[in-house]
Amino acid sequence: MVTGAASGIGLALSVRFARAGAGVVMADVEGDALHRRAAELTAQGAQVTAVTADLTDPDAVERLADTAFDVLGDIDVVCNNAGVLGPVGQPLWEVPLERMRQVFEVNHWAHVLVARAFVPRLLERGRPAHLVHTASMSAFVVGAGSAAYAASKHADLAIARSLRADLRGTGIRVSVLCPGRVDTPMVQGLTAPRGAGGDTSVSAEDVAALVWEALGSDRFYLFSNSDAPLRLRDQFDDVWRHVSLPPPSPEEELWPAPKATTVAMEH
């Protein structure tokens, strides 16, 4: 079962699974594009079912789960992949709050709803399964002008880590997909904010291949771009530098004393 399946990484995942002979339920809010892609795959002999669903609606997510289990019987893989980019290039204090909320609704809350709808059913069946959350390198590396997207991806990373801990000892494995820049419609024509984009780009098919190779393994972090090690090292070096700093001495002046000012007064 793949969410955000009408384009980009979600479509590439759906294609990869379908061409391997798996039945696939493809879900997306963009119904026309979704059904067009599903029809193309069906014409090639794939077993796919398209479900138009607003994943920010709890009732719609429950209906999606009902449909997915009805169609597939048992589910081996859930790709919690739906996402939006939202406003970029604006500092936090200029981003409209409603736009920020919209980003969190899709990138965070929709992932929460999908996990809550599917995981209990997977546990009831007692079969091995794999839950893949699509986060981003922005869950680690934050550039200027990317507050909404980066914050939502940090939240999704935390959800994936929590699920991993909650499901330890069960047959359900959890991975978090952290791609850097991927050539998808979501980023076409976009100039990444300072420090946010990385220096490499991969295809959605490359990302799908990475996920495919990790299925059934205990690999938690899935990094798709070759510059990920350097970008991560820069982040953790910065953290470690602050951890290693000695505490200030009692004699150290933590805040500069205000400069004396002279105010001329007329009498």
Q: Treating both helix axes as pointing N-terminal to C-terminal, what angle do 204-214 and 8-19 enclose, rounded to 10 degrees?
A: 50
pLDDT of residue 245: 74
Question: pLDDT by residue (tens digit) across 108-121?
Answer: 999 999 999 999 99
CATH architecture of the domain covering 2-228: 3-Layer(aba) Sandwich (3.40)
pLDDT in the model for residue 257: 59
Higher pLDDT, 261 or 246: 246
27-52: per-residue pLDDT in tens? Answer: 999 999 999 999 999 999 999 999 99
Quick: pLDDT tens for 137-183. 999 999 899 999 999 999 999 999 999 999 999 999 999 999 999 98
CA 157 – CA 135 distance, rounded (Å): 6
Please report, rounded to a whole number, the percentage of residues in the chain having pLDDT higher than 90.
81
CB 149 within 8 A of CB 197: no
Residues designated catalytic: 149
CB 179 within 8 A of CB 157: no
At 184, the pLDDT band (50, 70, 90 cuts) reads confident
> What are the residue ranges spanned by the domains of the chain?
2-228
Confidence of residue 267 (pLDDT cuts 50, 70, 90): very low
pTM: predicted TM-score of the whole model, two decimal places: 0.87
